[in-house]
């Protein structure tokens, strides 16, 4: 005597569920380790405004207490002593030519990464107003904005009042 159609459907569904379970249990994702970093680990500050991954493989953290560069193992911090116009770094831009520009609560500055840490310096016009965002054009010009607009090319820099 053959099983009833209901029993066949039940067996088929059970077989399908068991097949799916055996396939999905082997496909679990690997749990990657997560590490949290604080100022105790060398980060300049606890509050981070911006994170940038640059062309050299560094991670940059813009904090209210300075700019931190992380190589995967250690932090190097930059602030007033290294020439930033203020300790409050809001954003960072690496241009195609490899130069770095930092937006701070006291304007925009060009940042020299390749100087020694105690000699890392900044150049450029400081607008004395916060620069909340920095953009670069393909031609090499930069623009930064806040309550003023800062525009610069390799030969020109100017701060425009916004009304």
DSSP-derived secondary structure letter, 114: T
Ordered by where they begin, the domains of the chain are: 39-161 (2.130.10.10)
pTM: predicted TM-score of the whole model, two decimal places: 0.69
C-alpha to C-alpha distance for 67 and 63, rounded to whole angstroms: 6
Using an 8 Å Cβ cutoff, are 121 and 115 in contact? Answer: yes
Q: pLDDT (tens digit, 0 to 9) for every residue of the chain, 163 residues total?
A: 566 666 666 666 566 666 655 555 555 667 888 889 999 999 999 999 999 999 999 999 999 999 999 999 999 999 888 888 888 999 998 888 888 888 888 878 887 766 544 444 454 445 566 777 787 877 777 777 776 777 776 666 666 655 5
């Amino acid at each position: 005597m053959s099983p009833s159609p209901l029993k066949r459907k039940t067996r088929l569904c059970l077989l399908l569920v068991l097949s799916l379970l055996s396939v999905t249990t082997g496909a679990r994702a690997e749990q990657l380790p997560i590490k949290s970093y604080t100022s105790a680990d060398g980060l300049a500050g606890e509050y981070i405004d911006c994170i940038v991954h640059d062309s050299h493989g560094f991670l940059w953290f813009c904090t209210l207490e300075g700019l931190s560069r992380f190589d995967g193992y250690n932090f190097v911090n930059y602030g007033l002593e290294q020439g930033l116009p203020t300790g409050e770094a809001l954003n960072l831009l690496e241009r195609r030519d490899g130069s770095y520009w930092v937006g701070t609560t006291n304007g925009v500055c060009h940042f020299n990464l390749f100087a020694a840490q105690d000699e890392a310096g900044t150049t450029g016009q400081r607008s004395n107003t916060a620069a909340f965002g920095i953009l670069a054009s393909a031609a090499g010009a930069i623009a930064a904005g806040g309550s003023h607009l800062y525009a610069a090319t390799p030969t020109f820099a100017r701060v425009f009042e916004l009304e």
